[in-house]
Structure 1
Amino acid sequence: MPDPLYDKAHPKKGRRTYRPADFTYDPDIGTCLCPAGKTLYQNGSNCIHNGYVATKFSGALRDCLPCDQRAKCLRTPEKTKVRQVSFFRGKADSSEESHTGRMQQAIDSEEGRRRYGQRFATVEPVFGNIRHNKRLNRFTLRSQKKVDAQWKLFCLVHNIEKLARHGYAANG
């Protein structure tokens, strides 16, 4: 017999909770039964998790709370109210174009290059002037209303400086 102090292998842990294989899933009619025999509600049929399409199910509160198999079904039964389980149906279709891909195509087109090139002459210098030259590079207030007011004040300073520099009052 090997020395018990020398054997560094971890003892096998028994399964503590039910796995998705313990649930009865019928993909044809879209139903799922838990090990206690209760019907779970479908709350997502084409969910994508890590590139795989899944169907999600969730137990009912009236079924899960009084269930005697709660400790075997949930990892933390004192915190979690109902059991949720997902059944994966395969890899997600990667041929569907992403928003980023569509934006790349729009910018890489002739019209997109022309319009995006104009942006550097109209918008970017304003941000650069406000952030770098005036050193207004962070908001000091909190809440959207206050930040919006502070941003409008920054823009007002920028516009007043433009009027002063180009002699708006001197020509009139």
Structure 2
Amino acid sequence: MSCCKPYISCIVLLVLLMPILYKFIIWIITDPSNIKFYVTHASFTQFNLTTNNTLYYNLKVNITVRSPNKHTIVHYKEIKAKAWYKDNGFGKVNLTPFDQGHNNTTFPKVVFEGHNVIRLKPKQLGEYKEETSARVYDDLAVGLDLTITTKIVGIDSTNWKPMYVRCLPLRVPLISKGRTTHPFNVSKCTNFFK
């Protein structure tokens, strides 16, 4: 019987470690942190700051979301998009939840439209005026707050911590009469868990 003690100890240890090992393997397979986000196009059709600091805006943003996971479906349960100009938040919108299949690319579009009061510092106000004359605005950012789950072989994972995606700096042209004088450059985003 004493010769079996090491084997019994190993079996008990293995049984205790199996749930941890299982979760680790599932996490490696379904890890959503390798999803890539890009802003492929952005443009304004309106971006006017009035003398009472009210910003009227219409910003269209095309995003590409690339999931290289070969065995995982990613379910975006909640998507909140936010826009900033020179560190001043000016727009928020909720996007429709969606599922992203195995090894898939999805192309969500975001439209920020409305008006909001923002407070630009004197230097920023001077930059805004220069950018208005050039018809291209610098120092913009778009962020996505995401709540996601993953599914592998039909089994839902637990809810992941909320993911945050930050796309900056963006240089966004103003489209007037259907034309723009500046092209938009694709911007890679950074994602991390909060």
TM-score, length of structure 2 as denominator length: 0.21
Higher strand share: 2
The higher radius of gyration belongs to 1
Identify the structure with bigger relative contact order (alpha carbons < 8 Å, sequence gap 6+).
2
Higher helix share: 1
The normalised TM-score by structure 1 is 0.23
